[in-house]
Amino acid sequence: MKKRIGAFAMAMMMLAPMNSFAADAVVPSTDGVVYGNNLVPNGDFESGAIDWPNWVNINIGKEAPHGKEQALKIPAGFGITGLDFGALEPNRTYRFGAWYKFVNGDAGGNLKLTLGKSFSKQLDFTENDGEYHYVETIFTAPSELMPTSNSNLTLVKWSSADFYLDDVVLEKVSSAEDVKKEAIAPAFLHATDNSETAVDLVWEKPKGNPAVKYTVYQDDKAVGDTANTSFTVEGLEAGGVYNFKVVAAKGDQTSFATNTLNLHTVTPLPALTKELYPGQIGVGLEGLGGRGYEFADAAKTLRQWVKADGSEGVKADANGWPTEDAATVFFDHRPVAAWLNDIDDPTKQFPDISGVYKLSFKGQAVLGNMDASSPFKVENQKYDKKSNTTTADIVLAKGSGLLYMTFTKTNGGVSDVKLMRPGYSAGDTFTKEFLQALQPFGTLRFMDWLSTNNNNPAYPAVTEWSDRKLTTDATQLLQDGTHGVAWEYIIALANQTGKDIWINIPVAASDDYVKSLASLLKAKLNPGIKIYVEYSNEVWNDLFTQQAYNKAAAIAEGAKEGSALSKHTMQSYFDDPNDGDYTPQKRSWTRHRIAQRLIEIGQQFQTVFGEDALNTRVRPVLSWFAIIPDQYEDMLNWVSQTYGDPKNYFYAIASAPYFNSSAASDAASTTEVLTAMQEDSKRFSSPDETKQELIGLADQYGLKSYTYEGGPDSGGGSTINVENRIAAHRSERMGDLVKYDVGNNFLDQNGDMFMYFTLTSGYNRYGMWGASEDILDNLDTPKYEALTSLLGTDVQPFSDVAKSHFAYEAVKSLYAAHIVTGENGNFLPKRLLTGGELEGMLNRLATYVQSRSVTALAEYKAADLGDGAVTREQLAVQLVQVYEAGTGRKVKHPEAVALKDAKQVTAKALPAVEAAIATGLLSADGGGKFKPQAKVTRAEAAVALARLLEYVR
């Protein structure tokens, strides 16, 4: 389609030599128009493919060129390539064009130019007569561009024809007046810092350094002149949004303006709405082998063995141990990207992992170093012939982050390799530093431990129980296609720490896999530990292969006659109605299948744990895309229509409401990065935004509202301004932002549990996710301390309930919700609970729940329980009444609970006693006795009420 363009641009198009696109120098025309260099490397493809990286189905060669000897070809089918070429100059005019042709098929493709964050130009290829055609556009580069901005070309072709592209050009087009302006133009305006009322601006001198005078503009009004390349603008308002630019002048000649800098001044953070959210923050664990230093034996996360020369294809036994000379990387903790001599972190921080590691293995070997940049010493190497065991001390110097070791002259390889970290012995499974870092959090999410993403076969193949990782495997990382930690290690960690677990079921897991997993958890996991169950991870996200698996499965199943997936469909605002192969109806099928599969998984767990374990101990969580509430509604509506009330199948819905710095400029100061993140958190937490919609939707269906991931996000893979992004995440203000986002903007808005992503990570271009980047020596970072502060890790509300007391966490939770009170600073945990005290606690609990806009307990008022001491039987009856009223769920088969002293329970109270045990509100002793007439202490009651609060909050 032809578009209207200005007279100046049209004149330059008519004057432009259409085929001379590989110009090597500035070319003045006779009409005063100047053409710059072609900014597209290898735009005529004469130098071959090397300048056009990242291609799929792309060839460059001598077939059918335009003009010269070579052209780019995409054979019939799909093809894509991208090219980064550097930033353009703001406010300048450019010409962008190319020659193309389609042969033997229909047209279909485009070439898009992207500049910075807000600008794109697309050339559509529409002719398919087999001849070359030219397309171009004249445009002005956006004013916000600066030298750090991303600029790239993306070529996408999707037709069945052969496609050819040649003579791609992107060049500056200038008039004689433009040349004069450019000679004195300053560049790269950015802020070095800003506060609530002032901003410090700096910029670069014009090329050639002419003597000029600079004028600074604020919102297109001049606010000052200077001969320097810096200026402080004062008198601004806190939280204001301003645009700045700088123009130079020499005599009567003025320059082009610099890039326009959009800036928010600092807004003071509001005070915390609440100080404490005990038990409402969990944490995701980083992928194994990272900064978590999870295993005392570092060899548990060694990389897959390769041949001793570094090449792949080493022979191995059934467990993955090499049967020939081999090499492996035990760990690589160097900062990104030290191996390219390009470290993102300006301070080059990484943990000190030096010391003496104890190595042992079956067999004999000469040990060597595959990477001289990270030296280590081998000392005290010994071989015991009787046990066929070699031991040695591996001494790693301070400053080394890589251990890449060769095992040669082995006479048949090595096996059972162990590498105990300094200070640990063979009996240790997890490091004390890792366990300490986990201590404040009540729930651990294992998505990355399980390598959930991109870890599935193509549909219709399935993942069987026999495909899982075993503890006997040579590594818990990738090995012969097997990903994910052994489930036994998740169980061991949960049992050792007492933390609840959030697990991700593989997208292709068979029913047998799910039932076998449930059986393992039932047999090995401590009974008090709750299990949150999620179907894969981000099945909506087409960056992950699980999305393609679910899509293929849903389309195959939904197309069958009478399929439930194809009923009750809803079109989302984000469903593309123009995609004939993936219609809004089929997109709805994919969402329905996720809900269906999670229901099936929950039912399979029920067959193992018992029917009443669902939504009590076993808690299915329906996760989806945070910014699309109507698609959650599609899933929940479909469940209502197909199965019944969703709260009978799901415990919670979950999203990932990160707050990010994407609105910050490409050269934003640390303060600007933080300000952009504050604004992002505020924006997505407003009453009409998605966070509130999802919390309201959960309440509507009687479900909890969780995040499956969340926290500050400044990743994405770009190195632009990465230094300031990293500095922002280490700042004290980032800790305040975490409190603001997690506390004020989720939990205090009636969100139920926030899963922070992640406990640990290094800080680099891909993200600064970790609450800590060094748990060995720097656990108390601003982000980690913010989370522990919200959890009340060091809070002791009552002097007689110490942190070591069994009721400490329960009392703290009830205290934060204003449900329990004390006397003279004491809780009196050993005192027997009276009926009047229980009545007051239950009424305050109902008031707290009602304050969170939950209607289930709106009419609740505790019965008059008298002033006598409360028995366990009486407590059970009251707890179950509130549980049923607050959740809308009933225990279906309380008789499944077998009590050895059931006859001591009054007949009328027995169903409630059994229901209290089934829901985990109360428990029998180790001998299976409930002791119904035993009196309840205030501490025992607090534990039961805290469990109740978790259900009805």
Phi, psi dihedral angles at 570 (to 5 degrees): -135, 135
| Single-letter amino acid code for the residue at 876 | A
Query: Does 737 score more than 80 pLDDT?
Result: yes
* Strand order from edge to edge, sheet including 389-396: 376-384, 389-396, 355-362, 415-420
Query: Is 77 in contact with 57 (CB distance < 8 Å)?
Result: yes
Query: Does 507 score more than 80 pLDDT?
Result: yes
Q: What is the pLDDT of residue 893?
A: 92
Rounded Cα distance, 756 and 793, in Å = 16
pLDDT in tens, 663-711: 999 999 999 999 999 999 999 888 878 999 999 999 999 999 999 999 9
Least confident interval from 28-42, 185-199, 706-720: 28-42
Q: How does residue 77 score in pLDDT terms, banded at 50, 70 and 90? A: confident
Q: How does residue 117 score in pLDDT terms, banded at 50, 70 and 90? A: confident
Query: Is 149 in contact with 667 (CB distance < 8 Å)?
Result: no
Query: Does 11 score more than 60 pLDDT?
Result: no
Least confident interval from 15-24, 596-605, 738-747, 938-947: 15-24
Query: Is 672 in contact with 264 (CB distance < 8 Å)?
Result: yes
**Could you give the C-alpha distances from 578 to 156, 570, 574, 786, in angstroms and in order?**
18, 16, 12, 46
Q: What is the pLDDT of residue 688?
A: 77
Give the mean model confidence (pLDDT) for residues 50-62.
77
Query: Does 160 score more than 70 pLDDT?
Result: yes
What percentage of the chain carries pLDDT values higher than 90? 84
Burial of 310 (0-12, 13-18, 19+ CB in 10 A): exposed
Q: What is the pLDDT of residue 854?
A: 66
Task: For residue 509, say if its preceding peptide bond is cis, omega within 30 degrees of 0.
Answer: no
Q: How does residue 49 score in pLDDT terms, banded at 50, 70 and 90? A: low
pLDDT in tens, 235-260: 999 999 999 999 999 999 999 999 99
Q: What is the pLDDT of residue 122?
A: 92
Rounded Cα distance, 922 and 942, in Å = 11
Strand spans (E) along 281-427: 281-284, 306-307, 326-332, 355-362, 366-369, 376-384, 389-396, 402-408, 415-420
Q: What is the pLDDT of residue 859?
A: 81
b/e burial code for range 116-125 (CB count within 10 A of at least 16 → b):
beebeeebeb
Give the mean model confidence (pLDDT) for residues 114-131.
92
Q: What is the pLDDT of residue 9?
A: 36
Q: What is the pLDDT of residue 372?
A: 87
Q: How does residue 19 score in pLDDT terms, banded at 50, 70 and 90? A: very low
Q: How many CB atoms lie within 10 A of CB 225?
A: 11
Query: Does 32 score more than 80 pLDDT?
Result: no
Hunting for tokens 């006397």 — which residue is that? 823
| Single-letter amino acid code for the residue at 842 | L
Query: Does 16 score more than 60 pLDDT?
Result: no
Please list the alpha-helical segments (H only) found in 259-299.
Answer: none
Q: What is the pLDDT of residue 53?
A: 67
Query: Does 310 score more than 70 pLDDT?
Result: yes
Q: What is the pLDDT of residue 31?
A: 63
Query: Does 24 score more than 70 pLDDT?
Result: no
Rounded Cα distance, 784 and 433, in Å = 14
Q: What is the pLDDT of residue 923?
A: 95
Give the mean model confidence (pLDDT) for residues 164-188.
95
Query: Does 870 score more than 70 pLDDT?
Result: yes
Query: Does 367 score more than 90 pLDDT?
Result: yes
Nearest CA among 598, 636, 600 for reference residue 620: 598
Q: What is the pLDDT of residue 263?
A: 93
Q: How does residue 26 score in pLDDT terms, banded at 50, 70 and 90? A: very low
Residue 222 three-state SS:
strand
Q: How does residue 552 score in pLDDT terms, banded at 50, 70 and 90? A: very high
Query: Is 121 in contact with 140 (CB distance < 8 Å)?
Result: no
Phi, psi dihedral angles at 389 (to 5 degrees): -125, 130
Q: How does residue 82 score in pLDDT terms, banded at 50, 70 and 90? A: confident
Average pLDDT, the chain: 93
